[in-house]
């Protein structure tokens, strides 16, 4: 059923995904499929980590049980971008008119703000998960939280969801430490507002916080506020509806993709647009 395992460098990762799809199509329990694939890849010429197999099984489950066309000869297909609504100018203006401002977020914060990036990361990502962080969108690495300790104060970017493996295949078939394939389940949805002033962003974020749990709000060190909303366990339908409303109020639709970089709360920004600390205005430790 699974066919011959290729040698390292000739498509092992693609074989793992294809095998995961076939196992689930054959209605094998996930644990059985995991052990079967793990046994078959021994001796292929490279170490295949458990996380790579689990990631393939998770992606295969989405494809098999959603009825999507399976792609056995390449990386899992990249879904098309949703059709986002146009900016609702009237609704946005009304929310801003009657909403709070950026200083109010600090007053409303349930937890203390006087701490550094390391402490914020500990609250956002407890334990020792794999995290993808970077000095920029082009210079990044995926490591355990424990291996990154002491570095967050001087970094600017991170993926706002734990990673499932150190590396994954891009849609072009190359290996990278930041891909959709090696990004784990959504934990946060980060909303970034560029147009308008920080007070406008605060009003919109607080309006949306009445609908989904707001974990953190930070300043980009340039002009925008970013809201971190906790969405773990939320259905895709509910998540899409929430994101669509946010986009209609001016949120950047690019942050819909779970592997998209966000900015590190308390981290350091140094680029052609701005230089400074990415300060936190609101955080809820207990959420």
Residue 98 reports pLDDT greater than 60: yes
Residue 94 lies in a domain: yes
How confident is residue 72, by pLDDT bands cut at 50, 70 and 90?
Answer: very low
Same domain, yes or no: 93 and 210: yes
Same domain, yes or no: 114 and 217: yes
Which residues 6+ apart lie within 8 Å of 92 measured at CB? 200, 204, 248, 249, 250
Residue 73 reports pLDDT greater than 70: no
List pLDDT tens digits, range 102-146: 999 999 999 999 999 999 999 999 999 999 999 988 899 999 999
Same domain, yes or no: 152 and 17: no
Asked if residue 210 lies in contact with residue 263, where contact means CB atoms within 8 angstroms, the answer is: no
Asked if residue 225 lies in contact with residue 217, where contact means CB atoms within 8 angstroms, the answer is: yes
Residue 83 lies in a domain: no
Q: Would you give the DSSP letter of residue 154?
A: G
List pLDDT tens digits, range 259-274: 999 999 999 999 888 9
List pLDDT tens digits, range 37-65: 999 998 888 888 888 898 888 888 776 66
Residue 172 reports pLDDT greater than 50: yes
Same domain, yes or no: 126 and 246: yes
Same domain, yes or no: 111 and 19: no
Same domain, yes or no: 189 and 147: yes
Q: What are phi and psi of 75, to 5 degrees?
A: -70, 155
The CA-based dihedral angle spanning residues 9, 10, 16, 17, taken in that order and rounded to the nearest 10 degrees: 110
Angstrom CA distances, 33 to 43, 93, 161, stand at 18, 53, 26
What's the pLDDT at 90?
97
How confident is residue 82, by pLDDT bands cut at 50, 70 and 90?
Answer: confident
CATH code of the domain in which 143 resides: 3.30.70.1790
What's the pLDDT at 27?
82
What's the pLDDT at 66?
55
Q: Average of pLDDT values for 185-190?
A: 96
Asked if residue 161 lies in contact with residue 258, where contact means CB atoms within 8 angstroms, the answer is: yes
At what angle are helices 30-41 and 12-25 packed, to 10 degrees?
150
Sign of CA dihedral 241, 242, 248, 250: negative
How confident is residue 207, by pLDDT bands cut at 50, 70 and 90?
Answer: very high
Same domain, yes or no: 103 and 162: yes
Same domain, yes or no: 201 and 264: yes
Angstrom CA distances, 123 to 117, 131, 216, 265, 283, stand at 10, 14, 10, 11, 9
Q: Would you give the DSSP letter of residue 142?
A: E
Q: Which domain holds residue 160?
A: 89-283
Rounded distance between C-alpha atoms, residue 50 and residue 37, angstroms:
10
What's the pLDDT at 21?
86
Same domain, yes or no: 158 and 116: yes
Residue 71 lies in a domain: no
Count of the separate structural domains present in the chain: 2
Same domain, yes or no: 214 and 261: yes
Rounded distance between C-alpha atoms, residue 35 and residue 51, angstroms:
13
What's the pLDDT at 31?
86
List pLDDT tens digits, range 160-171: 999 999 988 877
Same domain, yes or no: 218 and 265: yes
Asked if residue 163 lies in contact with residue 132, where contact means CB atoms within 8 angstroms, the answer is: yes
Same domain, yes or no: 97 and 220: yes
Residue 76 lies in a domain: no
What's the pLDDT at 80?
58
How confident is residue 194, by pLDDT bands cut at 50, 70 and 90?
Answer: confident
Residue 74 lies in a domain: no
Nearest residue to 76 (alpha-carbon basis) of 166, 12, 171, 1: 171
Rounded distance between C-alpha atoms, residue 241 and residue 84, angstroms:
10
């Amino acid at each position: 059923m699974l066919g011959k395992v290729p040698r390292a460098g000739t498509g092992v990762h693609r074989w793992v995904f294809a095998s995961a799809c076939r196992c689930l199509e054959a209605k094998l329990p996930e644990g059985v499929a995991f052990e079967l694939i793990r046994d078959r890849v021994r001796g292929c010429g490279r170490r295949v980590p458990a996380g790579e197999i689990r990631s393939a099984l998770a992606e295969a489950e989405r494809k098999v049980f959603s009825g999507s066309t399976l792609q056995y000869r390449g990386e899992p297909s990249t879904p098309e971008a949703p059709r986002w609504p146009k900016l609702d100018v009237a609704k946005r203006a009304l929310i801003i008119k009657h909403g709070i401002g950026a200083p109010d977020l600090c007053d409303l914060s349930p937890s203390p703000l006087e701490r550094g990036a390391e402490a914020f990361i500990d609250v956002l990502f407890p334990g020792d998960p794999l995290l993808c962080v970077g000095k920029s969108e082009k210079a990044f690495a995926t490591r355990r939280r424990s291996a990154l300790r002491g570095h967050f104060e001087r970094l600017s970017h991170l993926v706002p969801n734990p990673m499932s493996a150190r590396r994954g295949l891009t849609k072009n078939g190359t290996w990278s430490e930041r891909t959709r394939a090696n990004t784990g389940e959504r934990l946060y949805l980060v909303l970034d507002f560029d147009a308008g002033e920080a007070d406008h962003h605060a009003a919109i974020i607080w309006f949306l916080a009445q609908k989904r749990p707001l974990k953190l709000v930070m300043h980009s060190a340039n002009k925008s506020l970013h809201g971190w909303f906790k969405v773990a366990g939320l259905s895709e339908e509910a998540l899409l509806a929430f994101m669509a409303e946010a986009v209609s109020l001016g949120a950047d639709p690019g942050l819909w993709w779970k592997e998209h970089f966000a900015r590190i709360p308390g981290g350091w920004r140094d680029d052609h647009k701005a230089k400074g600390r990415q300060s936190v205005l609101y955080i809820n430790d207990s959420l």
